[in-house]
Amino acid sequence: MKKYILKALGNKLLASSLWKSLSNEYLTENDFNDIQNFFFSNCSNKEISEEIKHAIYQKNLLKKGEPLPKLLAINTSGNEVTINKITENNTAVIYFWPKNLGKIKMLNDKLKVLKNEYPDVLFIGVERNKNIKDWNKFLKSKNILKSNQFNISKSSECYPWFKGDMARTIIINNKGNIQNGYLFFNDKTLEKHLKKLRIQ
């Protein structure tokens, strides 16, 4: 039993280090490769390993300095829109709603603060796991304004790029280029990124 607990704890610590490295823009490609090789050589939890593999796949699709790929989504009225057109000429934070109620509260509370402190930044919410009917009920229950809230259908071609349950973000500059493609909403460096974009 003790051996099992230690192994589970070790897997969690390995995963925690890997998650942090995903959003670290100062790591070189070689450094990140070393970290992920160490993780996969030592993690014994297949479920965690598969989740990490998908996250790395998503990170590699959204590289810093590259244009945001065409992102199709559905607005609250059920109409298809292109997120890129909405973010055009704007500094933007595209954030993804998690399933966990505690994380939802954290995101919603922090979002209110950030919107006040950074009125020049466009904050765009994206839902990945609910159907449109349940999603609209969710927005109403949380008193969230429907403007700049969108849904990606599981049948969408771009869904695999953003599939998951993490409260992650994508930061875009006013030229439509990615500044960070895999930053968690509660990451302490989120505001540093926003301040940096103000002076560019």
Answer whether 96's CB lies under 8 Å from 161's CB: no
Query: What pLDDT was estimated at residue 199?
Result: 60
- Residue spans of the chain under pLDDT 70: 1-6, 199-200
CATH topology for 72-198 is Glutaredoxin (3.40.30)
**pLDDT reported for residue 200:** 59
Distances (CA, A) of 108 to 113, 137, 196: 9, 16, 23
Instruction: Kindly list the strands in the beta sheet with 121-127, ordered across the sheet, starting from the edge strand earlier in the chain.
Output: 80-82, 72-74, 149-151, 121-127, 91-96, 168-172, 178-184
- pTM of the predicted structure, to 2 decimals: 0.87
| Residue 4, pLDDT score | 59
pLDDT value of position 2: 61
pLDDT of residue 95: 93
Residue 147: predicted pLDDT: 86
CA angle 146, 151, 153 (to 5 degrees): 160
Would you mind telling me the total number of residues written for the chain in this entry?
200
> Could you report the per-residue pLDDT of 29-60, keeping only the tens digit for each?
898 889 989 999 999 999 989 988 888 888 88
Looking at residue 165, its pLDDT comes to 80
Measured CA to CA, the distance from residue 36 to residue 156 in angstroms comes to 29
Which pLDDT value is given to residue 85? 92
Domain ranges of the chain: 2-61, 72-198
pLDDT value of residue 178: 92
- What is the spatial distance between Cα 110 and Cα 104, in angstroms, rounded to a whole number? 10
Phi, psi of 83 (to 5 degrees): -60, -35
